[in-house]
Structures are given as C-alpha cells and as structure tokens.
Amino acid sequence: MVAILEDALSEKVLAGERISAAEALELYGRPLEALGALANARRDLAKAASYGERGREIVTYIVDRNINYTNVCNVYCKFCAFYRTEKDEDHYVLSRDQLDEKLDELSAAGGVQILMQGGHHPTLSFDWYLDWLRHIREKYPHINIHGFSPPELQHFAHLFGMPLRDVISQFKAAGLGSIPGGGGEILVDRVRERISPLKCNSDAWLEVMQVAHELGLKSSATMMFGHVETIGDRIEHLQRLRDQQDKSGGFTAFICWTFQPQHTVLKVTRPTGVAEYLRTQALARIFLDNFPNVQSSWVTQGPDIGQVALKYGANDFGSVMMEENVVSSAGTIFRLDAAQIETLIRDAGYEPRRRNNWYELLN
C-alpha cells in the first residue's frame, strides 16, 4: 500500500474535485508511486459511480478486431509506418470477401465490435463507404462499427464536398455505431505541424467530436506522446479534451500510448520509458474528471506494463484485437487472447468482465 501525501492538492484529488492545469503540472512532478496512488483512488471513485461499489474490483475488456480497409494515404505523418502510396507495390484496399472473412472469424470468436480505420484514400467514393457500412450492418448486426477517426471524417467532407454533419449523419444512418479517437496525437497545433503537417488541426479534430456527439454517436479520445511535445503540451491536450467533454459529453474513454519510433521518419532524442507512460496516464485519470474510463495500452506497452497500468488509473484492458496493423508496422507486436487477458486482470487483483463499446458488462 502506497502512502498518499497529506497536502491540500492530494486532499482535493481524493475528494474527486477538478484540478487546474497548474496543479496538473505540480502533480506530474511528484514521486511516481504517490501519483499512481492518487490516480488509483480516482479510478475507484469513477468505477463505483459506473458499476456501484463492485466497480472498484472490475476491470473490463472487449473482443474486437481492427479492420484497416486501406493503407493508401496522402497525409504522410512522420510518426507513421503504416501508410503507402498507390505507387507502392504493397498498397491495398480490402475486398468485400476479405472483409467478410475477417468478420466471420470475429463472430466465431464472440467478438462484438470492429475498429475500422484506414488511410486518407484519395479516390474511394462516398457510395463505397456507404455500401460497406450497410453491408456490415445487414450481414453482421451483432457487431458494432467503431469507425473512422476524426481526420478521416474531415478528409471525407473535403473529398466529397459535403458538410461534415451530413457525412457523419449519413454514415450513422448506414450503420456507423461510434467513432474512435484516432489522430488526436497531441491537440496543440504547433506540435501537429511538426509531426503531421497535412493532417487536420486541433479545432477540426474536436469539431468532429462535437458534431458526432450532437448526432448521438459516442467516441473515445486518445493521446500519442513522447515525440516532440512538452509536458505542458500534454496538459493542454488534456485540457482541450476535458473542455470538449464538458460541452458535448460523448467521450466514453481515454487511451494514451507512447510514440513507437521503429520504421518511421520521426526521430526522437530519447525513448519514452515506462515510468513516463505510467506518470502520464495517471495524470490523465486525475485531470479528466469527466471521463468515466481509462484504457491501459498493452498493444503498445506490452502485457506486463498494461497490467501495471491498472494500478495507475486504468480500469479497462482495451481489446483482444484479433488483428492490428498500424502499431505493428512500427515494429511493436504483442498478441493476447481473451483467456490471457483475463489471467492478467485476475493476477492484478481484479475481476475481468467483457464489455461492449458503451462499457455495458456482457458476462
């Protein structure tokens, strides 16, 4: 049991009160174990609010699958090892048969969701996307389509010459069920201009979330850190997410991970270590007082650190993720099945429970 420092800021955190950006910076400098204990206390408060007192003992996970429908992309983010141009021999757009094969496998494994994202393809049509959504919705009604990151949706609005709201509402009518928080990286334009100058800016990313939430679609929020940003930039990112959640209220969860540098053109002077990952996640749990869930990121950090992260503010182990292409393109490959995830959760002292995208317990 880690002793929690007795001071006014710790008392404030333990009481579940909102902290300022200046207080976040102060917390970030505290001993890791002390910060983790505060985040853990806030995690318990949040989960008791979601699931009752037993919520403190529950760690959730979801059985889903990544579907990266194309790797063709003309955005060329410096941290990305996944994209290809149409001139590259290994570029692809999945066929309908390949899609069905993946969905059949997911259904057989008891999966309930696909995370469907792709590059910013320059020529796929609006009808191509609508056909895919309708097809999945009709043939696999038990699978939620968690699809299209905010930069993709802004790309579609631009490519199709349509208002963003019309794109999202027509996608929703065709079967889109929720929106992933991909492409958030760091919501500070000075940083975005350095790592992904052709990707949508912070305001445009948040605009998608505003519109999606207004249309009744829930979404997640992400942060990729450990590249060119400062600690202050990370806190500004969290501030923008918290402000957005105050306005539109549709974020279900926050997930953060460290930049994976292999096979990318973005060079960093020093790698981000485990302590910094845990410290950042713990701070996010405390700062994002209006986010009910925080996922640990075993896909990027590995199963062991993903497990430790459950003591640093996370209440969810993410997904079984039967297929993952983006992080693995950058050289990070971890695989876990549902039984392994449940063992990791139990060994950390929690009760594993499957969930759906809306964090409703399934078993």
- The contact mask relative to ligand SF4 for 137-166 (x = CB under 6 A, - = no) is --------------x---------------
**What are the φ and ψ backbone dihedral angles of 25, each rounded to 5 degrees?**
-65, -40
106 scored as a contact of ligand SF4 (CB under 6 A): no
Mark the segment that binds ligand SF4 (CB under 6 A) among 79-87, 204-212, 274-282, 289-297: 79-87
Single out the residue of 28, 51, 61, 82 in contact with ligand SF4 (rule: CB under 6 A). 82
Task: Count CB neighbours of 75 within 10 A.
Answer: 17
Cα-Cα-Cα-Cα torsion 253, 255, 129, 321, nearest 10 degrees, comes to -110
Number of residues in contact with ligand SF4 under rule CB under 6 A: 12
Single out the residue of 28, 61, 83, 259 in contact with ligand SF4 (rule: CB under 6 A). 83
Mark the segment that binds ligand SF4 (CB under 6 A) among 74-82, 246-254, 260-268, 350-358: 74-82
Interacting positions 191-210 with ligand SF4 (CB under 6 A) = 196, 199
Single out the residue of 67, 77, 238, 283 in contact with ligand SF4 (rule: CB under 6 A). 77
Report DSSP state, residue 142.
T
45 scored as a contact of ligand SF4 (CB under 6 A): no
Shortest Cβ 196–ligand SF4 spacing (Å): 6
The rounded distance, in Å, linking the Cα atoms of 181 and 197 is 18
76 scored as a contact of ligand SF4 (CB under 6 A): yes
Single out the residue of 24, 37, 39, 73 in contact with ligand SF4 (rule: CB under 6 A). 73
Mark the segment that binds ligand SF4 (CB under 6 A) among 45-53, 77-85, 187-195, 261-269: 77-85
User: What sign for the dihedral angle of Cα 11, 16, 20, 25?
Assistant: positive
From residue 7, how far is each of 10, 14, 99, 178 by CA, in Å?
5, 11, 55, 41
119 scored as a contact of ligand SF4 (CB under 6 A): yes
Provide the CA 91 distance to its chain's centre, in angstroms.
Answer: 25
Single out the residue of 9, 75, 93, 266 in contact with ligand SF4 (rule: CB under 6 A). 75
Report DSSP state, residue 309.
G
The rounded distance, in Å, linking the Cα atoms of 273 and 270 is 9
9, two tokens? 């800021």
The rounded distance, in Å, linking the Cα atoms of 363 and 361 is 6
Helix %, strand %, coil % for the chain, to 5?
45, 15, 40
The residue ranges that bind ligand SF4 (CB under 6 A) are 73, 75-77, 80, 82-83, 119-120, 151, 196, 199
